[in-house]
Structure 1
Amino acid sequence: MRDAVARPGAPWGMTSATPTALERRPRLLVFDVNETLSDMTHLGDRFVEVGVPPYLAAPWFAGLLRDGFALTVTGHNPSFVDVARSSLHTVLHDKANVEAATRHIMAGFLALPLHDDVRAGVRALTALDLRLVTLSNGSADVAEGLFERGGIRDAFEQVLSVEHAPGWKPAASAYAYALGECGVAAEDAMLVAVHPWDIHGAKAAGLRAAWVDRTGAPYPETMYAADVVVRSLPELAARLEELPAAT
Structure 2
Amino acid sequence: MNRKTKTIVFDVYGTLFDVHSVIEECETYFPQKGEVISKVWRQKQLEYSFLRGLMGNYHSFWSITKDALRYACKSEGVELSGSIEKSLLSAYLQLKPYPEVEEVLERLRGFQLAVFSNGSEDMLHPLIEHNRLQSHFSNLISVNGIKRFKPHPDSYLYALDQLGVERHEVLFLSSNTWDIAGAKTFGFQVAWVNRTGGAMDELGVEPHHVLQNLTELMDLRRNYV
Q: Tell me if TM exceeds 0.5.
A: yes
Shift of 1:97: 4.1
Q: Is 1:31 aligned to 2:17, yes or no?
A: no
Shift of 1:53: 3.4
Q: Could you say if the C-alpha distance between residues 23 and 110 of structure 1 is closer, same or farther in structure 2, counting changes exceeding 3 Å? A: closer
Between the two proteins, the alignment pairs up a number of residues equal to: 221
Q: Tell me the equivalent position of 2:108.
A: 125
CA distance in 2, matches of 1:180, 1:84: 27
Q: Tell me the equivalent position of 2:37.
A: 56
Shift of 1:77: 2.8
Q: Tell me the equivalent position of 1:107.
A: 90
Q: Is 1:229 aligned to 2:192, yes or no?
A: no
CA distance in 2, matches of 1:217, 1:238: 21
- Unaligned segments of structure 2, at least 5 residues: none
Q: Is 1:139 aligned to 2:123, yes or no?
A: no
CA distance in 2, matches of 1:234, 1:97: 38
Report the structure, 1 or 2, having the larger helix content. Answer: 2
Is 70-79 or 163-172 further displaced after alignment? 70-79
Q: Could you say if the C-alpha distance between residues 105 and 184 of structure 1 is closer, same or farther in structure 2, counting changes exceeding 3 Å? A: same
- Unaligned segments of structure 1, at least 5 residues: 1-21
Q: Tell me the equivalent position of 1:157.
A: 138
Shift of 1:223: 4.6
Q: Could you say if the C-alpha distance between residues 24 and 82 of structure 1 is closer, same or farther in structure 2, counting changes exceeding 3 Å? A: same
Q: Tell me the equivalent position of 2:163.
A: 182
Contact 2:50 / 2:149 at 8 angstroms: preserved in 1? yes
- What is the aligned-residue RMSD (CA, Å)? 1.8
Identical aligned residues as a percent:
25
Candidates 172, 181, 188, aligned match of 1:191: 172
Provide, for residues 78-122 of structure 1, a one-character-per-residue CA deviation record: whole Å limited to 9, x for no partner: 111111111222222243444333222111112212110101111
Q: Tell me the equivalent position of 2:193.
A: 212
Report the secondary structure of 1:92's partner residue.
helix
Contact 2:8 / 2:171 at 8 angstroms: preserved in 1? yes
Bigger relative contact order (CA 8 A; separation at least 6): 1
**TM-score (normalizing by structure 1):** 0.82
Report the secondary structure of 2:38's partner residue.
helix
**TM-score (normalizing by structure 2):** 0.90
Q: Could you say if the C-alpha distance between residues 137 and 122 of structure 1 is closer, same or farther in structure 2, counting changes exceeding 3 Å? A: same
CA distance in 2, matches of 1:234, 1:48: 30
Q: Could you say if the C-alpha distance between residues 29 and 23 of structure 1 is closer, same or farther in structure 2, counting changes exceeding 3 Å? A: closer
Report the secondary structure of 2:172's partner residue.
strand
Q: Tell me the equivalent position of 2:22.
A: 43
Contact 1:121 / 1:232 at 8 angstroms: preserved in 2? no
Which structure 1 residue ranges, 4+ long, deviate > 4 Å from structure 2? none
Report the secondary structure of 1:242's partner residue.
helix
CA distance in 2, matches of 1:107, 1:149: 11
Task: Please identify the structure whose Cα radius of gyration is greater.
Answer: 1
CA distance in 2, matches of 1:25, 1:72: 33
Shift of 1:203: 0.8
Is 213-222 or 182-191 further displaced after alignment? 213-222
CA distance in 2, matches of 1:65, 1:42: 17
Letter in 2 for 1:32: D
CA distance in 2, matches of 1:211, 1:25: 19
Shift of 1:23: 4.5
